[in-house]
Amino acid sequence: MTTAASKRVLDEYAAIRASLPAGVVSPERRQEAVQALAACGLPSTRDENWRYTNLRPLERARFAPVAVSPGSATDGTAASATPARLDGFARYTFVDGVFAPELSSPAELAGLTVCSLRRTTQDSSDHSGSGSATVFQLPRALPALSSLPEARLALLNDAFATDTAAIHVAGAAAQTARVELVFIALASADTGSIYPRVQVSLDPAGRLVLVERHVSAGAATHFINSSVNVDVGRGAHLTHYRLQRAGARATWVDTLSAVLAADARYGLLAVNTGGLSARSTTHVQMAGPGAELTLSVAALGDRQQVQDNFALVEHIAPRARTEQTFRGIASGRARVAFNGKIVVREGAAGTDSRQSLRGLLSGPEAEIDVRPQLEIYTDEVRCSHGATAGKLDDNMLFYLLSRGLSPEVAQRLLKWAFLEDVVAKIEIPELRRQIEHDLAGQMADAASWKELL
């Protein structure tokens, strides 16, 4: 990527640094991030793990965050984009990267703290005495800035972040905490970037189900750069659903970094259907013995969409287990990629890692790239991986036609079935229905499809 863009990052940062909220990311860390980025540069398609991404939007991007307009959350546009509520979930909504209390429905639960770092730190510093402000202390410090070349775009988020959804679950509680984060993009890309930011930490034995949604209101182009840090303590369980449904003209880049302690369990399920150019980077460190990760990703691309997914799972501690499932469908002229790298470090004996990556081509001009990468530096591991990219099975198709289904319905049904390996893992029936509905909407142009649901 051009040094011009890197220079722009420096210039834009210098121009607005004073206005960035110090309670969200400290000025020192912001500075450090900008410098790190200047040193390594923005990614380019010459970088091995960026070759499937559409990086052109970075050349034109305005990196400074969009200005927060006070009424933006209440003028109705954002509200119209909010998805249906999920029973039993506390909801926290962020509009253009800043907490919008008007669109949120918090809930009190012993052991659970959720807050906007922008608000909390403002409230505690101005002593407004409203009484509602919880002085929030991060239980753990943010992890050091990632030096991972694939996680580079998170440095931009570190530098420019406008708010953080901070979630903390104290140890064993009677109830599993349920939290939904909704990030709504409103502002157009020519006014700046949008920086959703999440920090989740579970103390030992904590339980949390987290639903994280990214949607757009209106049809503007957005430049969304989200960053999520996850810390799952010893024996804690986190189930995390991530639904990326940014607008059809949005550029969406995303970096998730997670660290799993001993016997921690992390179920991460992502459904990526939105954006014109989307790139999702996931980096999970199996840092404690016996940790378990289930990483499931479904991605749909149509028209000119690019859906690029990169996942790096590092097995550091022994006896950890990873199960990785990817199902991607590329239609039209879309490109859908999943690059799944598993590294088993020395000392990670007893690692059990399974990877099943499958892509489906649904159009003569579509592109699927599935790429398993395995690096093993120890003995006594069990690693299996399968990667396929292909078209719909002719035998299956003919079977359905021979039962009277039209070719269009038969194809949709088979695409549906293809995604089922991921969709079936959604354990919240209501959420599953919503996602099925979205997927159906994405794949269907005829009403006949919905009869099948």
Partner 1 sequence: MLKIENLHVKVDGKEILKGLTLAVPTGEVHAVMGPNGSGKSTLANVLAGRPGYEITAGSVTFQGRDLLALAPEERAREGVFLGFQYPVEIPGVNNVYLLKAAVNAARKHRGLDEVDAFEFLTLVREKMRLMSMEESMLSRGVNEGFSGGEKKRNEVLQMLVLEPRLAILDETDSGLDIDALKVVANGVNTLRSPERSLVLVTHYQRLLDYIVPDHVHVLVKGRIARSGDKSLALELERRGYDWVTGEAA
Judged by the rule CB under 8 A, the positions of this chain that interact with partner 1 are: 393-396, 398-407, 409-410, 413-414, 416-421, 424, 451-452
Inter-residue contact 235 to 207 (CB < 8 Å): no
80/406 with CB nearer partner 1 = 406
State the minimum distance, in angstroms, from the CB of residue 16 to partner 1.
49
d(CA 151, CA 144): 12
172/417 with CB nearer partner 1 = 417
State the minimum distance, in angstroms, from the CB of residue 420 to partner 1.
3
State the minimum distance, in angstroms, from the CB of residue 418 to partner 1.
7
377/398 with CB nearer partner 1 = 398
d(CA 432, CA 451): 17
138/424 with CB nearer partner 1 = 424
d(CA 115, CA 169): 12
Inter-residue contact 37 to 12 (CB < 8 Å): no
Under DSSP, the state recorded for 452 is T
Q: What share of the chain is helix, strand, coil (3-state, %, to 5)?
A: 25, 35, 40
With 0-12 CB in 10 A as exposed, 13-18 as middle and 19+ as buried, what is 52? buried
Buried b / exposed e along 273-306 (16+ C-beta atoms within 10 A): bbbbbbbbbbbbbbbbbbbbbbbbbbbbbbeebb
11/408 with CB nearer partner 1 = 408
131/429 with CB nearer partner 1 = 429
State the minimum distance, in angstroms, from the CB of residue 401 to partner 1.
4
State the minimum distance, in angstroms, from the CB of residue 328 to partner 1.
15
State the minimum distance, in angstroms, from the CB of residue 416 to partner 1.
7
Structure tokens at 152: 């580079």
Q: Which helix (H) or strand (E) holds 211?
A: strand 207-216
Distances (CA, A) of 174 to 26, 211, 411: 35, 20, 46
State the minimum distance, in angstroms, from the CB of residue 399 to partner 1.
5
d(CA 86, CA 179): 10
183/416 with CB nearer partner 1 = 416
